[in-house]
């Protein structure tokens, strides 16, 4: 009886190890998707929507583009840039750190590898429940007041485990949701999409 249990445990361990190796050796080099952005502002009667594109290039380039590049969210190495109505803003300090965590989580989701260890970021909590991953900065009241975002929330497709939505929660009840569809994995990609003029 004990031999049977031991064999079962060893077999389970080998299976888990094999699956982990498959995910760790992800073959995703590029990823593209269509994106619908929905911006909710409590002061406005109607939500604003825009159609755009999501791009990923291994190892660490991620970009979402809307309105002929007048609106962008770019993560390129350790540089994080937001462009709104043509106005560019580079993330610094805690914002840079928060976007760095989001970037690593997005990389893991796109490449379908394990979520990265975030112990070095003691004031940013990453948690997962089922198909939902949350990134929440746990800052003091003064630091929180300076942050334009309160949390990020990623939802994965239950069947394919691909990124389905990214929600950026802002102060108050405002938020922006990015819905992804039309995935193309390992297709040709012009690296110029990651440039900000």
| pLDDT, tens digit, 9 for 90 and up, residues 20-58 | 333 345 789 999 999 999 999 999 989 999 999 999 999
Residue 149 predicted with pLDDT over 90: no
Q: Is 95 strand, coil or helix?
A: helix
For residue 168, count CB atoms less than 10 angstroms from its CB and return exposed for 0-12, middle for 13-18, buried for 19 or more: buried
pLDDT, position 196: 82
What strand order describes the sheet that includes 30-40? 87-90, 79-84, 71-76, 61-66, 48-57, 30-40, 175-185, 163-170, 149-156, 132-137, 124-129
pLDDT, position 166: 98
Q: By C-alpha distance, which of 101, 94, 178, 100 is closest to 140?
A: 94
Q: What is the mean pLDDT of residues 120-134?
A: 90
- Its sign, for the CA torsion 145, 146, 149, 152, is negative
Q: What is the mean pLDDT of residues 177-181?
A: 97
Residue 74 predicted with pLDDT over 50: yes
The per-residue pLDDT of the chain, averaged, comes to 85
pLDDT, position 3: 52
Give the separation between CA 92 and CA 133, rounded to whole angstroms. 24
Residue 116 predicted with pLDDT over 70: yes
**63's tokens:** 């970009």
pLDDT, position 117: 84
């Amino acid at each position: 009886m004990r031999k049977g249990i031991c064999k079962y445990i060893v077999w389970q361990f080998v299976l888990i190890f094999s699956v982990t190796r498959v995910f760790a050796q992800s073959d995703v080099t590029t990823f593209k998707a269509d994106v619908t952005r929905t911006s909710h502002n409590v002061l406005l009667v109607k939500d604003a929507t825009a159609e755009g594109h999501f791009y990923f290039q291994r190892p660490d380039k991620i970009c979402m583009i809307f309105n002929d590049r007048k609106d962008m969210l770019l993560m390129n190495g350790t540089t994080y840039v937001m462009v709104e109505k043509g106005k560019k803003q580079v993330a610094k300090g805690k914002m840079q750190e928060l976007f760095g965590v989001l970037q690593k989580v997005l990389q893991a989701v796109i490449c379908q590898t394990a979520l990265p260890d975030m112990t070095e970021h003691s004031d940013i909590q990453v948690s997962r429940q089922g198909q939902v991953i949350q990134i929440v900065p746990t800052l003091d009241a003064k630091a929180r007041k300076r942050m334009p975002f309160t949390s990020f929330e990623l939802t994965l497709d239950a069947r394919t485990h691909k990124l389905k939505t990214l929600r950026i929660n802002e102060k108050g009840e405002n938020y922006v949701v990015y819905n992804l569809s039309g995935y193309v994995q390992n297709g040709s990609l012009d690296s110029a999409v990651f440039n900000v003029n």
